[in-house]
């Protein structure tokens, strides 16, 4: 009896550890970007996460998320999206989201120095990714909104 309990307890602990590891991998920034938006940061850009902020855990996974990546090589990021000049509506929306997340000014993009790209999931404007690319600073700023 004691042996079967130990085996069952060991199996349960193993399953919990595997589930936890899987959850962390799927919710890491690069994996989440691939799963949610269908792109990965190019390996050749050598990007490292330097800042992130979100609204906290949510049962449905909705809310705001913000990531800042420092990229050593800009060329792969230049070709990642069809970048365009930031428009006032995108800049204003980003400002509202960053205010809601209480992101300090030092961690925000300077829109006039950035190119932008915007995508919606399933053409739903409530599920939006806004990316700002500051090539000179080597910073990629990514805002995600899921509602």
pLDDT at position 25: 33
Which spans in 27-66 are helix H?
29-37
pLDDT digits (tens, 9 = 90+) for 108-140: 999 999 999 999 887 766 789 999 999 999 999
Task: List 65's β-bridge partners, or say none.
Answer: 54, 144
Q: Return the CA Rg of the chain.
A: 19
Supply the mean pLDDT for the chain: 82
pLDDT at position 128: 92
Q: What is the pTM of this model?
A: 0.77
User: Contact at 8 Å (CB) between 71 and 121?
Assistant: no
Which residues, 6 or more positions from 55, have their beta carbon under 8 angstroms from its beta carbon?
63, 64, 65, 100, 101
Closest-CA residue to 37 (of 121, 142, 126, 146): 121
């Amino acid at each position: 009896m004691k042996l079967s309990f130990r085996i069952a307890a060991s199996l349960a602990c193993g399953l919990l550890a595997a589930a936890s590891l899987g959850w962390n991998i799927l919710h890491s920034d690069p994996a989440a970007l691939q799963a949610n938006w269908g792109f990965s940061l190019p390996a050749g850009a050598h990007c490292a996460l330097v800042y992130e902020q979100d609204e906290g855990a949510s049962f449905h996974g909705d809310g705001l998320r913000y990531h800042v990546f420092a990229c050593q090589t800009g060329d792969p990021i230049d070709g990642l999206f069809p970048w365009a000049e930031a428009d006032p509506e995108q800049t204003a929306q980003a400002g509202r989201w960053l205010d809601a997340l209480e992101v300090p000014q030092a961690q925000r993009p300077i829109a006039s120095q950035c190119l932008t790209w915007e995508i919606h999931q399933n053409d739903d404007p409530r599920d939006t990714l806004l990316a700002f690319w500051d090539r000179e600073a080597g910073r990629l700023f990514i805002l995600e909104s899921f509602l």
